[in-house]
Amino acid sequence: MGEKDNRLKRIVSSTMIIGVTFVLVFSLLLPVFSSTSETVSTPKNQLEKEEEEKNAKTTGPSEEHDLEGRVEKVKEIQNSDIWHSNVENPSEGPFSTNKTTVYLNLTGRGNLTQMISPFDWISSLDSSGSMDFNDPDEMRIAGAQHFVDLVEQNATGSRGASIDFDSSATLINGHHLSDNYSTIKQDLEQIDASGGTDFTPPLDTALDEFRSHGNTFRSWFHIFLTDGEGPLNWDLVDQHDQEGIPIYTIGFGDANEQILYNMSEQTGGEFYQLSDPANLNETFESIFDSIYENATSQNKTAVISPPGEPMIREVLPPSVEYIEGSAEPQENLTVSEDGGKTILEWDRNGLDINETWEVKYEIRATDHSHDLPITAYNSSGDPQSRISFQNVSSGEIKDIPTPGPELGVHGRPEPVIGASRWEGVEVGENITFKNMTWDGNQKSRWPGDCEISKYSWDFGDGTEGEGEMINHSYSSSGTYNVSLTATTVDGVNATVAENITIVAPSPPHFAVTIDSPNDGTEYTEGDNVTVEYTVENTGDETGSQNIEFYVDEELIETEEGVELSSGRNYSGRFNWTAAEPYGQRNLSVQSQNESDVVNVQITEKEVVEPYFAVSINSPGEGSEYVEGENVTVEYTVENTGNETDTQNIELYVDDTLIETEEDVELSPGGIHSGQFNWTASEPYGQRNLSVQSQNESDVVNVQITEKEVVGPYFAVSINSPGEGSEYVEGENVTVEYTVENTGNETDTQNIEFYVDDTLIETEEDVEILPGSNYSGRFNWTASEPYGQRDLSVQSQNESDVVNVQITEKEVVGPYFAVSINSPGEGSEYVEGENVTVEYTVENTGNETDTQNIEFYVDEELIETEEGVELSPGSTHSDWFDWTASEPYGQRDLSVKSQNESDVVNVQISEEEVAEPYFAVIIDSPEKGSEYTEGENVTVEYTVENTGNETGTQNIEFHVDGDLEDSEEITLQPGETQEREFTWEVDNGDAREHALNVASEDEGDEVSVAVEEKEASPSGESGDLGWLVYLIPIVIALIVIAAWTYSRYKGTEEEEEPTDEDEGELEE
């Protein structure tokens, strides 16, 4: 039994040892698992930063280049010519100073080591249908692929992606930013040529891609190529600018240069306009060079100061005086004297490549010379001023002399001006001017270079002369400044001046002469009297006066603001209708200075026959019109005689017959009113408008001014009908007109058609460029009232008018009157659409007849309804059909009988091709939603057919560019369906993912974040949770061992085990 106890004890002990060992082993492994967890959770942006630092190092030069450090120098002086240091008042004269500033500029030069930092770029290429003819050889694809090659060769590690856009935009194949250059080039080959053009989708898609997948430690660039123009959300351009993303725009074909330029200018990119896409490779090379330069960094030191030596040493000769305290910078400056020479020394640690260091100081000269050196020279003739530096690479020390330019040092001449008289000189009087120190050997106080070689005079009235003595006279009064300039043999000038007074000339005097009528001329009451006069300014000065016309003491008319210079004259005329009192009348024309008078005789009008008296009702005397404006002359003719008569009434402008109203018949006492129209034209100024009968005339003076065009100006002219054309009631009147924009700005205006004062029809929104014109027509059915009717076409700026005569329709026999019932005036149709013209024909005559009814489009006969028979008063209604076709724009549809026609204008536009368009929007999840590994993500989306034709398309679901699922959907125009896809997130997918749902037309994309699934619920170290499972196992093993021991202990007390039992126990 002792042996059995030992065996049980060994079993229990072994079980406990195994449990304890498990606990110890897992306790030791716990820190290892915790360390692994920390490594996996390293932040993404930290990895990106480390990767950028690695790439930046590997893209730099493979080995260091030795610097060829050197210094470029520029030594200049501010004023190369100055006064001698002893010249008084040095601020006066041609040199203005007796000192100058010496500038010495040093610039470090050498070879720079360049380092390229990788960048991210997106190429957005236009794939609209216009590319078929604007880029038939697909040079845009080849150019973009060439750009990829340049990146691979010169900026390895940079990442790219490609966007195909037309009316929508797609990240090609869903491939995000990557450095797989062969894939990027393959993606570009997917670009096609179909659809419209919209700039907004590619900008939006590019922003999402940069924000979702761009490396925030890199520079981002967007290349945008198009041959057209489309809608643009400028807010997206602003977002590019705020994100620091330059847009490099490329345009050709019909691209809008201004929009593309503004996109690049606003974001810091560049704009390229091409006439031929064959040059796109060079354009992409230029863009790469610009991006490469932005991503390249460089900085190196060029030279340092040699040990124990200053970098700059300036040595001035004894003839050059340093102005104490003028040197800059004062730091590290030493000033000393050596044998009359001044020495300035500056020290500096060194210069970087392209760094510039400037020192300057002021000097004076104590010697006269045209070429005074500013640097001291040694006995060997070498300049003592120099710069010294040491090459940081080779250690070589170099000395470079800095002699600088030479200085011109001058004395001052001293001229003295004189004149025969300075005050009270009359206009035209000869005056003698001379230099009072006229001796040709006159010197200034400084000998050597101040001999005067020339005297120059400026008389202050715009004339000049030369010589020691000279004569001059003035043509008008006033005070003039006379100046004398003395010039030395070396070009130094000195000037003195004096004022001279010229006596004022006589004031303006307007002398008046009446040229006609002559003194004693006879007129009959009612005659027009034209007074022609001339005014001459006999004074010496220009003046402006009013010229007045009097009959006896009564002021009749005034010509205002007549301006004349001395000796000039002006001719004009006044008009007056002879009236009682009869006998002698005094006609006088007066200026402010004088007048002229003629006497005329007025006799009473004896009427013993017809007499057509004329009076102009409008415009009023002196009315003003602008060139091109319509002038309507309204008049009344009264037969004041005692017999009936028929006369022509005529409109004259000055002496030119403009228009005639023929055969006006008036009985005694009868009155006729009418109007004429005239378009105001040059010559500008006063124009006489007169209306004349055979007996007398009436005249008004109007003022015509030149049309000043600032902005748009729509000038109107009626081409037909002609003035005085005749129409019968019910007849169609077609008014053809032309509008020309004679202004300097594009504008859009309505063109209106009036009959008398009634608006008949409007042509809306006529847009015309400066210098261009537009032709159109209006239609009107002639109707009562009968007689003269005014047809006018008006823009916002002016109008044109023609008078036509409408007579009553005299019906004798059959008369088929035509009216079109539909379509209405201005109806719109699309090419290929059926146009039904419904019409009615009525026999308004008094006999039965049979006629053909014809249908015309413009002047082309389309269809004829033959043999329409109508009795008097009967009507017939029917229709014609026509398929709308080009030319597009306004077309005239007319239905005609043998008697008359009716016309309507319709608009024909080009047919739009119908097609389906599947628009896609992701409803959920929202951008930035978070999920855990192993969790299902349900993507709910809406698809709508916004096109105008039923279609069937595959809707595809992509995760990070990889196709996850797809389904086929059929939609009618305007139909919407809400659907969903499900994506199961696997373990190991913890990162940011792009979810994309796309139709064949467009797609939508959101980014979501997937986090790691927690390994344990027991705190920060997930591995401690394993002990929760291990401890119960160990306890269970201990309990089993205890139970086994107690069981065998109890059996032993009941019976002795046999040898066989003992063997089994051992087993």
- 418-430 pLDDT, tens per residue? 888 887 788 888 8
Beta partners for residue 631, in sequence order: 678
Residue 557 reports pLDDT greater than 90: yes
Kindly report, residue by residue over 338-363, the tens digit of the pLDDT: 999 999 999 888 877 788 888 899 99
Distance (Å, whole) CA 381 – CA 376: 9
User: Minimum mean pLDDT among 308-317, 462-471, 701-710, 1000-1009: which range?
Assistant: 701-710
Distance (Å, whole) CA 71 – CA 77: 20
- Sequence-ordered alpha helix ranges (H) in 300-377: none
- What pLDDT was estimated at residue 37? 36
Average predicted confidence (pLDDT) for the chain: 85
Distance (Å, whole) CA 161 – CA 185: 10
- What pLDDT was estimated at residue 616? 96
- What pLDDT was estimated at residue 111? 67
**Is the N-terminal amide bond of 721 cis, ω within 30° of 0?**
yes
Kindly report, residue by residue over 882-902, the tens digit of the pLDDT: 999 999 999 999 999 999 999
Distance (Å, whole) CA 232 – CA 259: 9
Residue 1052 reports pLDDT greater than 60: no
User: Minimum mean pLDDT among 101-115, 175-189, 521-535, 972-986: which range?
Assistant: 101-115
Distance (Å, whole) CA 584 – CA 596: 16
- What pLDDT was estimated at residue 40? 33
Residue 931 reports pLDDT greater than 70: yes
- What pLDDT was estimated at residue 227? 94
Structure tokens belonging to residue 244: 């620091």
User: Minimum mean pLDDT among 93-107, 260-274, 832-846: which range?
Assistant: 93-107
**Is the N-terminal amide bond of 373 cis, ω within 30° of 0?**
no
- What pLDDT was estimated at residue 608? 65
- What pLDDT was estimated at residue 12? 47
Q: Please say whether the beta carbons of 799 and 630 come within 8 A.
A: yes
Structure tokens belonging to residue 827: 């109806």
| Straight-line distance from the first to the last Cα atom of the chain, in angstroms, rounded to the nearest whole number | 16
- What pLDDT was estimated at residue 1065? 36
**More confident of the two residues 277 and 33:** 277
Distance (Å, whole) CA 940 – CA 946: 19
Kindly report, residue by residue over 142-200, the tens digit of the pLDDT: 999 999 999 999 999 999 999 999 999 999 999 999 999 999 999 999 999 999 999 99
- What pLDDT was estimated at residue 14? 54
Kindly report, residue by residue over 906-922, the tens digit of the pLDDT: 999 987 756 899 999 99
Q: Please say whether the beta carbons of 655 and 649 come within 8 A.
A: no
Kindly report, residue by residue over 220-250, the tens digit of the pLDDT: 999 999 999 999 999 999 999 999 999 999 9
- What pLDDT was estimated at residue 695? 93
- The CA-atom distances, in angstroms, between 340 and each of 317, 318, 319, 323, 558 are 7, 5, 9, 14, 88
- What pLDDT was estimated at residue 293? 84
- What pLDDT was estimated at residue 438? 41
**Local structure of residue 118 (DSSP, 8 states):** P
Q: What is the signed CA dihedral for 226, 227, 229, 232, rounded to 10 degrees?
A: 0
Q: Predicted confidence band at 605 (pLDDT cuts at 50, 70, 90)?
A: confident
Residue 1051 reports pLDDT greater than 60: no
- What pLDDT was estimated at residue 10? 56
Distance (Å, whole) CA 610 – CA 638: 10
Between CA 348 and CA 358, with CA 352 as vertex, the angle to 5 degrees is 55
Q: Predicted confidence band at 273 (pLDDT cuts at 50, 70, 90)?
A: very high
User: Minimum mean pLDDT among 595-609, 795-809, 814-828: which range?
Assistant: 595-609
Residue 43 reports pLDDT greater than 60: no
- What pLDDT was estimated at residue 367? 80
Q: Predicted confidence band at 445 (pLDDT cuts at 50, 70, 90)?
A: very low
For 226, phi then psi, to 5°, come to -155, 160
pTM: 0.28
- What pLDDT was estimated at residue 112? 59
**More confident of the two residues 4 and 472:** 472
Q: Which of 657, 640, 723, 645 is nearest to 691 (CA)?
A: 657
- What pLDDT was estimated at residue 115? 57
% pLDDT > 70, the chain: 84
Amino acid (1-letter code) at residue 1: M
**More confident of the two residues 1053 and 254:** 254
Residue 627 CB-density burial (10 A; 0-12 exposed, 13-18 middle, 19+ buried): middle
Q: Which of 76, 168, 158, 83 is nearest to 122 (CA)?
A: 158
Structure tokens belonging to residue 898: 């043998």
Share in percent of the chain as helix, strand, coil (round to 5): 15, 45, 35
* Stretch 71-95: mean pLDDT: 76
Between CA 1055 and CA 1062, with CA 1058 as vertex, the angle to 5 degrees is 105
Sheet containing 930-932: give its strands across.
930-932, 1003-1011, 992-998, 951-959, 962-971
**More confident of the two residues 645 and 1017:** 645
**More confident of the two residues 806 and 297:** 806
- What pLDDT was estimated at residue 322? 92
